[in-house]
Amino acid sequence: MLRGLYTAASGMIAQQRRHDTVTNNISNINTPGYKQTNAVSRSFPEMLLSLTGAGQENDAQIGRLTTGVFAEEALSIHVQGDLMQTNNSSDFALISNIDVDGIAFDASGKFVSPDGEVTYQPQAFFTLQDSNGEIRYTRGGKFALTEQGFLMSSDGSNVLGTDGQPIQMPAGVGLDRLMLTPDQRFVDSDGQEIGAQLLITRIDNPNELVREGNGNFRFATDDGEGVPVAVNDRVEVRQGYVERSNVDAAQSAVDLMAALRAYEANQKVIQFYDKSLEKAANEIGRV
């Protein structure tokens, strides 16, 4: 009896985490460059029940018993979000549609081969350097210039150029006087280069990244490394635009309600076990 109590309790915890994941997506639905996360649940190992004791020849398998579920991880969906025009010269949006030969990715940016091998679509990111000198990646392109001319992200990190150094504009030159070329170089109104080029990094498996807050990502391991996008990669940067979050509002509402109903169902099971244990303790125990 108590095993069922524990199973229902683990289900409530898993649905609570699923609910938290969905509400976090909804709260960031208007955050530029935000990538939706999905909670992945996994069951505990199953047990095979058998009827024994009447001789090996009479043993019979009754069935399998699942001992519970837990929210294993939250995976980010790194597919392209819609673009929104802002006409703000300090806003930049990435369009990333990198192909891999012989592979057709589905809507979630994933491909599963016939033998079960999973391949994720590579994605492009702006490259940042935080206050500790660590490399970070983001799709949020709302940048600004400091008084010293450094190009900064919304959280105060330096935006890096192809030389691996923070981008610094010439004194007195604002982004409203600069344009971005198709190869991510900044030029003035006369078409003269100013020596700054955005570093766009290609991450072959974006699921190797973990969130760090403020729309930033980092590699989960120290040996993780991205590479600059190649000329033939289908990557584009548009000035005066931002990338919307890729959160599906309708699906999020459905997932939110499903998590709530599943939580309530497990709650009812626990209440049933509680009443059964109360009856066993207070009534059967007196007989």
Q: H/E/C letters for each residue in the chain?
A: CHHHHHHHHHHHHHHHHHHHHHHHHHHCCCCCCCCCEEEEEEECCCEEEEECCCCHHHCEEEEEECCCEEEEEEEECCCCCCEEECCCCCEEEEEECCCCCCCCCCCCCEEECCCCCEEECCEEEEEEECCCCCEEEECCCECEECCCCEEECCCCCEEEECCCCECECCCCCCHHHEEECCCCEEEECCCCEEEEEECEEEECCHHHEEEEECCEEEECCCCCCCEECCCCCCEEEEECEEECCCCCHHHHHHHHHHHHHHHHHHHHHHHHHHHHHHHHHHCHHHC
The predicted structure's pLDDT at residue 54: 53
The predicted structure's pLDDT at residue 173: 80
Q: Could you report the per-residue pLDDT of 205-219, keeping only the tens digit for each?
A: 998 999 988 889 999
The predicted structure's pLDDT at residue 57: 59
Across the range 48-69, mean pLDDT stands at: 64
Across the range 212-232, mean pLDDT stands at: 88
More confident call, 205 vs 59: 205
Q: Could you report the per-residue pLDDT of 157-205, keeping only the tens digit for each?
A: 999 999 999 999 887 788 888 889 988 999 887 778 888 889 999 999 9
